[in-house]
Structure 1
Amino acid sequence: MVLTMAHRFNIKKAELLDSPDRRSFLDPDSILGKLGLEKDMVFADLGCGTGYFSIPASAILRKVYAVDVQQEMLDLLNTRIKKGKLTNIEPVLSDGNSIPLANGSADIIFMANVFHELDDKEHMLAEARRVLSDGKLVIIDWKKIEMDIGPPVSERFSPEEVISICRNNGFEPDVNTEAGPYNYMIVFSLSH
Structure 2
Amino acid sequence: MGFHTYPVDRADALEDPGRYRYCSREELLAMLEPTADSIVADLGSGTGFYADDVAPFVDALYAVDVQTAMHDRYREKGVPDAVEFVTAGISSLPFDDDQLDGAYSTMTHHEYASTGTDDTDSETESDGALAELARVLRPGGRLVTVDWSADGSGDAGPPLEERFSLADATSQLEDAGLDIESAVDRPETIAIVATR
Which residue is equivalent to 1:117?
A: 111
Amino acid at match of 2:161: S
- 2:142 — aligned with what? 136
Alignment TM-score, normalising by the size of structure 2: 0.86
For residue 138 of structure 1, give the secondary structure of its aligned residue in structure 2: strand
- Sequence identity, in percent? 30
* One-letter amino acid of the counterpart of residue 135, structure 2: R
Structure 2 distance, partners of 1:95, 1:176, is 25
State the partner residue of 1:67.
64
Q: Post-superposition shift, 1:95?
A: 5.0
SS of alignment partner, residue 59 of structure 1: helix
Structure 2 residue 193 is the aligned partner of structure 1 residue 187: yes
Shift of 1:102: 2.2
Task: Provide the C-alpha distance between the structure 1 equivalents of 2:163 and 2:89, rounded to a whole number of angstroms.
Answer: 23
| Superposed displacement of residue 35, structure 1 | 2.8
Following the alignment from structure 1 to structure 2, what is the Cα–Cα distance between the partners of residues 95 and 189? 21
Q: Does 1:152 align with 2:149?
A: no
Q: Tell me the residue number matched to 1:105.
A: 99
Q: What is the distance in 1 between the residues matched to 2:99 and 2:78? A: 22
Partner of 2:117 in structure 1?
none
Higher fraction of helix: 2
Which residue is equivalent to 1:172? 179
Measure the CA separation in 2 of the matches of 1:59 and 1:46: 17
* Shift in CA distance, 101/80, structure 1 to aligned 2, threshold 3 Å: farther
The one-letter amino acid paired with 2:46 is G
TM-score of the two chains, using structure 1 as the length reference: 0.87
Residue 34 of structure 1, CA deviation: 3.6
**1:78-130, Cα deviation, whole Å (9 max, x unpaired):** 22335xxx211001111564012222211112111111112422101111122
Deviation string, structure 1 residues 42-74 (Cα, Å, up to 9, x no partner) = 111110001111111111111100000000101
Cα–Cα, structure 1 residues 103 and 81, in superposed 2: closer, same or farther, change >3 Å?
Answer: farther
Aligned ranges for residues 24-103 of structure 1 at < 5 Å? 24-82=21-79, 86-95=80-89, 97-103=91-97
Once the two structures are overlaid, the 10-residue window that deviates more, 149-158 or 127-136, is 127-136
Aligned length: 183
Structure 2 unaligned blocks of 5 or more:
113-121
